[in-house]
Amino acid sequence: MTRVNELLRIRELLQRRRREILTVSLGTHRELDALKQQEKDPEYEEGAQSELADYTLSSLVEAQRREIMLIDAALRRMDENVFGECVDCGTEIPMERLEAMPFAIRCEEDATSHELETRGGRMATSSL
């Protein structure tokens, strides 16, 4: 399979994942709204459970929002024909890395360097 075909396959996977997240997100928003309506009921006394559920659902909504942003950015890079190109050194990011991390904007070497710099220099440990 050529790199172009592999990139098209990744695009399809990203678009499918985006649709899945939006579908799940609608359900999450409905659950969050229903929970907030329950809290208005004077007989609803499970305050701690309600707060935990609210926190959990809100965290899920935020994670979904972040993933949509990453997908949109990757799709934009595809449209601009720069997807799969390291933003630091300009080399082609290996297909194996893009398949594992379709949001990757750096080759593994530059990603490691960037993470070490972000975490406080060479004494920091990489999470890769």
Consecutive 10-residue averages of pLDDT for the chain (128 residues): 91 95 85 70 58 78 92 96 95 94 94 90 54
For the chain, how long is the longest CA-to-CA vector?
62
Provide the CATH number for the domain around residue 72. 1.20.120.910
Which pTM was predicted? 0.74
- Give per-residue pLDDT as tens, 80-113: 999 999 999 999 999 999 999 999 999 999 999 9
CA nearest neighbour of 108 among 122, 98, 120: 98
Which structural domain range is residue 114 located in?
A: 3-39+48-125
Strand partners, 85: 92
Q: How many domains does the chain have?
A: 1
